[in-house]
């Protein structure tokens, strides 16, 4: 739970998890890497920020690039490579990505639920690393 608390430390981190636009690489025959899961969540998150009008001069992120850099680091922190690589649960990752897309831009409880529950390390990194993706 300490990773969830680190993520929830700032509202920006909360919202980061809750992004829009599907960037799923489905049809995998193996467990996605931590980097793949992180990058997919980053794309979703920054798309969500864009959809919620939080990217632009004077907003949460000045540019899409700055969003991607900062959010990628936040997902790396939420799903540490040493804990998650080879253990990504594809079905739980899909739940997380869908939740990000569907999170209400202004509902803090919805944002917390997405990050703290649907995208929690305990769920995303719960795969056994089996050849079929968990």
The Cβ-side half-sphere exposure at 131, using a 13 Å CA radius, reads 0
pLDDT tens across 74-120, in order? 999 999 999 999 999 999 999 999 999 999 999 999 999 999 999 99
- pTM, entire model: 0.75
**Residue spans per domain, the chain:** 2-9+33-124
pLDDT tens across 50-69, in order? 999 999 999 999 999 999 99
């Amino acid at each position: 739970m300490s990773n969830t608390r680190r993520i929830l430390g700032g509202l920006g981190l909360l919202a980061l998890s809750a992004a829009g636009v599907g960037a799923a690489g489905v049809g995998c025959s193996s467990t996605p890497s931590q980097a793949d899961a992180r990058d997919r969540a980053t794309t979703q998150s920054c798309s969500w920020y864009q959809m919620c009008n939080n990217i632009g001069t004077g907003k949460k992120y000045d540019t899409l690039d700055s969003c991607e850099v900062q959010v990628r680091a936040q997902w790396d922190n939420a799903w540490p490579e040493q804990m998650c690589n080879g253990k990504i649960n594809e079905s739980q990752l899909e739940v997380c990505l869908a939740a990000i897309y569907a999170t209400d831009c202004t509902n803090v409880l919805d944002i917390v639920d997405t990050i703290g529950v649907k995208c929690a390390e305990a769920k995303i990194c719960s795969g056994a690393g089996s050849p079929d993706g968990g």
